[in-house]
Amino acid sequence: MATKTNASTAVPLRFPAPIGGVAGTSFKPEHLAAILEAGRQRGFFEVHAENYMGAGGPPHRALEAIRRDHPLSLHGVCMSIGGPQPLDKAHLARFRSLVARYQPALVSEHLAWSTHETSFFNDLLPLPYTEATLRCVCDHIDEVQEAIRRPILLENPSTYVAFRGSTMSETDFIRGVAQRTGCGLLLDVNNVFVSAANHGFSALDYLADFPLSHVAEIHLAGHAEQADDDGALLLIDSHDGPVADAVWTLFEIVIGRRGPVPTLIEWDSKIPDWPVLQAEAAAAQVILDRGASSTLPADRHAA
Amino acid sequence: MPLEQNQAFATAFARGLLDPTRPAPPDVTGRDGRSAGRRYDVYRNNVTVSLIEALAAIYPAVQRITGPDFFRAMARCHIRKSLPTSPLLFDYGRDFPAFIESYEHARELPWLADVARIERGWLDAYHARDAAPLSPAQLAAVAPDRLADLVFMPHPAAGIVRSHFSAVTIFAANRDTAPVERIDGSTPEDALITRAEFDVTVRHLPPGGAIFAASLMSGRPLGEAAASALDAAPDFDLASNIAGLIEAGAFTSIAFGDAG
């Protein structure tokens, strides 16, 4: 075994070429047999990195089988990039090993935090948008990108509360992160819709202000409806059903402006049979293909 | 904003996540500056429910035995005392069996903690490092007069759970969806958990088998391990036990204890 002298040397620099405007799905182990039976297909699969951080066993066998024929997107959920404390070095090392082992086409993480002091809360928790938190998030992204030797895509959150201490908008904050760190962005259109409904802003205004030229992946997912203390609609980012019509409309608008980018159907609980998930991806692919033929080149980088 | 203040948002936000009696943190708001109330509760709910579900995924037989309502109440109680310290949820809940043992509402189910220990061992075997198991031919090639000095390298997925109750039978009956017949819970049973290739298997060890397997897995030579097993169970059958352990994939290789 080669001895590792620092965080970067163990990771080969090569990684797959961009995959273009294809639709993919979350990979769920219960779909493995159906996916393998169908053979190589257009599209890609996304996995939560943490589910593949065990030493061995069936999870790695399944991921190897999927990766053999399809591009992979590695989606980190627990790096706690948005938290004030230093990143967990052991977790970063595990993340780096997965990137080196599976050479994913896309690597992403969240603008959120999940660990505080020694407790892991298993949720994507929100942060205030200030110059101090911006510096901290940028330092964390620099550290991740240095470790894996490639840019990550940072995902915009869905939120249920706001912070009195915030001094800038979410879009300004995200633009600042992309500009300072060189990271790409994962635009979760459902998260935009959920946050817009919860905070009472216009999703279209948010998208108009979002730095679309940095977007290298899109997420689409289902959400659930609740009510807050004042009886106002409160949307929950539940990932447990089909993509809502309004979110499809926003997606078409984004593709019309940005041009086609890899787009994921995220479905993480109440998981349907494989053909249902596949049909959602096919619906996204239709919009992506239409976008490929109709987008004016001048518009593509206008954002 | 100074660094302490930057830390403060997370400290304040984290403080109430597991304590429903605390109000929402003062610096978070709902729409148009109104109080966060139920909106903060969404995060509280996400944390607790997702961790209950994580425990239910690790301990499905325990949940089937207790029923979901009992399980959720027990899991919630455990989560409040013992949050995960790692983002790897398959590592969570190592202290859940001990918690079950001390949980007063589970006193009528004295074997429940041992069933949980087998389930915890099952998941550890599932995620363990892959390794080729020892083949019977390797053992057959050893000269009979050297067998007593032989030591066995344990397979990364191999583990033992000993129980004063019928934990293996209860575990096996409740990891399935088939109806469970009445089980006498009072027979002591020991489990051998292995994953030689793809599938985790849980075997019921014969009397003396757990002491024998545990001795070998801790690196003691075959002769000593056999003597300990015979002390514990006079009718211990060495040949069938060693064959059973190898067939189960409990070891990866053999060596001579006196060689080094």
CA distances from A66 to A72, B43, B231 (A): 8, 33, 51
In the predicted model, is pLDDT for residue A160 greater than 60?
yes
| Closest by Cβ to A57, choosing from B40, B84, B126 | B126
HSE-up (13 A, CA, CB side) for residue B104:
0
| Closest by Cβ to B1, choosing from A60, A121, A132 | A132
DSSP annotation string for A237-285: ----SPPPHHHHHHHHHHHHHH----EEEE--SS---HHHHHHHHHHHH
Q: Which residue, among B90, B197, B158, has the nearest Cα to A61 in the 3D structure?
A: B197
Q: Which residue, among A184, A191, A186, has the nearest Cα to A157 in the 3D structure?
A: A191
CA-atom Rg of chain A in angstroms: 19
Chain-chain contact of B85 with A232 (C-beta, under 8 angstroms): no
A39's tokens: 């053979």
How many inter-chain contacts (A to B, CB under 8 Å) are there?
A: 156
* Domains of chain A from N-terminus onward: 23-300 (3.20.20.150)
Chain-chain contact of B42 with A116 (C-beta, under 8 angstroms): no
Q: What are A93-135's pLDDT values in tens digits?
A: 999 999 999 999 999 999 999 999 999 999 999 999 999 999 9
| Closest by Cβ to A116, choosing from B14, B40, B42 | B14
- ipTM exceeds 0.85: yes
Rounded distance between C-alpha atoms, residue A159 and residue A155, angstroms: 12
In the predicted model, is pLDDT for residue A12 greater than 90?
no
CA distance B182 to chain A (A): 32
Chain-chain contact of B127 with A127 (C-beta, under 8 angstroms): no
CA distance B213 to chain A (A): 22
Chain A from 69 to 128: CB within 8 A of any B CB: 77-78, 80, 83-85, 88, 91, 113-123, 125-128
The three-state DSSP-derived secondary structure of A27-81 is CCHHHHHHHHHHCCCCCCEEEEHHHHCCCCCHHHHHHHHHHHHCCEEEECCCCCC
Which residue in this structure is represented by tokens 């404390």?
A85
In the predicted model, is pLDDT for residue A5 greater than 70?
no
Q: Does A230 touch chain B (CB under 8 A)?
A: yes
B110's tokens: 């004295």
How would residue B178 be classed by pLDDT, with cut points 50, 70 and 90?
confident
Q: What is the mean pLDDT of residues B149-177?
A: 96
Lowest mean pLDDT among A227-231, A258-262, B172-176, B213-217: A227-231
Q: Is B87 in contact with B50 (CB distance < 8 Å)?
A: no
- What pLDDT score was predicted for residue A300? 47
* Domains of chain B from N-terminus onward: 1-109 (no CATH), 129-260 (3.90.930)
How would residue A261 be classed by pLDDT, with cut points 50, 70 and 90?
very high
Chain-chain contact of A163 with B32 (C-beta, under 8 angstroms): no
Q: What are B59-118's pLDDT values in tens digits?
A: 999 999 999 999 999 999 999 999 999 999 999 999 999 999 999 999 999 999 999 999
- What pLDDT score was predicted for residue B33? 85
- What pLDDT score was predicted for residue A232? 86
Judging contacts by C-beta atoms under 8 Å, the chain B residues touching residue A113 are: 10
Chain-chain contact of B14 with A53 (C-beta, under 8 angstroms): no
Q: pTM of this prediction?
A: 0.92
- What pLDDT score was predicted for residue B179? 86
In the predicted model, is pLDDT for residue A238 greater than 70?
yes
In the predicted model, is pLDDT for residue A212 greater than 70?
yes
Judging contacts by C-beta atoms under 8 Å, the chain B residues touching residue A117 are: 14
In the predicted model, is pLDDT for residue A86 greater than 80?
yes
How would residue A14 be classed by pLDDT, with cut points 50, 70 and 90?
low
Rounded distance between C-alpha atoms, residue B156 and residue B91, angstroms: 16
Residue of A nearest to B199 (CA): A58
CA distance B120 to chain A (A): 14
Mean pLDDT (chain B) is 94
Mean pLDDT (chain A) is 92
**Orientation angle between helical segments A189-199 and A245-258, nearest 10 degrees:** 120
Chain-chain contact of A163 with B42 (C-beta, under 8 angstroms): no
Chain-chain contact of B40 with A78 (C-beta, under 8 angstroms): no
Q: Is B185 left (phi over 0), alpha (psi -120 to 50) or beta?
A: alpha
Judging contacts by C-beta atoms under 8 Å, the chain A residues touching residue B125 are: 57
Q: What is the mean pLDDT of residues B3-21?
A: 85
Q: Which residue, among B254, B60, B251, B253, has the nearest Cα to B157 in the 3D structure?
A: B251
How would residue B232 be classed by pLDDT, with cut points 50, 70 and 90?
very high
In the predicted model, is pLDDT for residue A301 greater than 80?
no
Chain-chain contact of A84 with B7 (C-beta, under 8 angstroms): yes
CA distance A290 to chain B (A): 37
